[in-house]
Amino acid sequence: MEISFIGAGNLAWHLAPALENAGHHINEIYSRQLQHARQLVSNLYDAHTHSELNFADSPSTLFILAVPDDALEDVCSRLVLPERATVVHTSGSKNLDSLTKWMEIYSDVPVNTGVFYALQTFTKGQSFMTFDGIPLCIESDDKPTEEALVLLGQDISNIVYLITSEERRTLHVAAVLACNFTNHLLALARDLTIRNGLEFDLLRPLITETFRKGLAANNPANVQTGPARRHDLTTVSDHLTLLANQPQLAEIYQVITSSILQYYKNGESL
C-alpha cells in the first residue's frame, strides 16, 4: 500500500518503519516542524518530507493522521487529498463520525474514512517497536475500507480488532488509568524519595513485583496489598501526616486510598 503520514511524533516514529518493514511504501511525511519530518524520513527507505497539506498529486492511497486530538479538525480543514483516498486518524478518544463529518465539510473530493488505533504507549527517539503484540483497533463505516485496514493491521500485528468508537473511548480511558496515571504515580514516588535523600532504586524490586503479580493474576484486584486494602487506617493517617506539607500529593494519596477502601467494601471486583 502507498502511504503518507501527517504528523511525525511519537506514534509515527514507530508505525511508519513498522509498515515499511511489512512491505508497504511510505511516500511522504508532513509535520508542522519540518525538522521532525526530516528525522523520521532519515529512518525510512524512500520517503520524503512534504512541506504542506496539499496532497492532491500524491501517489498515496492511505493518509494516516498521527497528530494530537485537538489538531485534527484544523488539519482536516486544510488537507487536500486525491479522490477516493482513505484517511484515518489514530486517536483513542475521537470518534469516527467526527473525522467523516470534517472530511465531508472540508474535502472537495470524496474520500474514505477510518480509524487505525494502536493501543500502546510510544516515545519518539527510542528503539523502533515491533507491533506483533500491540492491539490494533480498526473502524470504518465503509466495508471495503474496513477490510483494507484490517489486512494492513494484520501485516504488522497479531492482535487486530474491529472496535466501535464508543468501545475505543472506553479502552482509552482504561489505558489512561493503567498507563498514564500509573507512570505519573511512579514519578511522584521518585520525587518523594529523592526529596527526602533516598534512592528511587530502592523501590524498583517492589515495582517490578507489583507489575508481575498484577499482570499474572486473572484480576489485579485479587493481589492488592497495602494499608488501605488491610483497612489499616492508623497507617493511612500516619502517611497523611507525613505528607501534610505536600497538600497535592496528600490529596492524591487520600483519593486513591478512599477508592481502595470503597472498592473492597462494596465488593466491586469483577
State residue 101's pLDDT score.
97
For 90, the grid coordinates are 489514530
Same domain, 217 and 143: no
Do the strands 62-65 and 2-6 form a parallel or antiparallel pair, or are they unpaired?
Answer: parallel
Q: What is the mean pLDDT of residues 221-250?
A: 96
CATH number (domain holding residue 67): 3.40.50.720
Same domain, 177 and 60: no
Residue 197 lies in a domain: yes
Range of the domain at 108: 2-163
* CB 26 within 8 Å of CB 50: no
For 69-120, the pLDDT digits (tens) are 999 999 999 999 999 999 999 999 999 999 999 999 999 999 999 999 999 9
Mean pLDDT (the chain) is 96
CA atoms within 13 A on the CB side of 135: 11
Determine the Cα–Cα distance for residues 136 and 160; give it in Å rounded to an integer. Answer: 5
Beta strands (DSSP E) in the chain are: 2-6, 25-30, 48-50, 62-65, 86-89, 112-118, 136-139, 160-162
Same domain, 104 and 176: no
For 21-51, the pLDDT digits (tens) are 999 999 999 999 999 999 999 999 999 999 9
* CB 32 within 8 Å of CB 16: no
Q: Into how many domains does the chain fold? A: 2
Q: Residues near 260 by Cβ (< 8 Å), separated by ≥ 6?
A: 224, 226, 228, 229
Identify the band that residue 268 occupies on the pLDDT scale cut at 50, 70 and 90. low
* CB 137 within 8 Å of CB 175: no
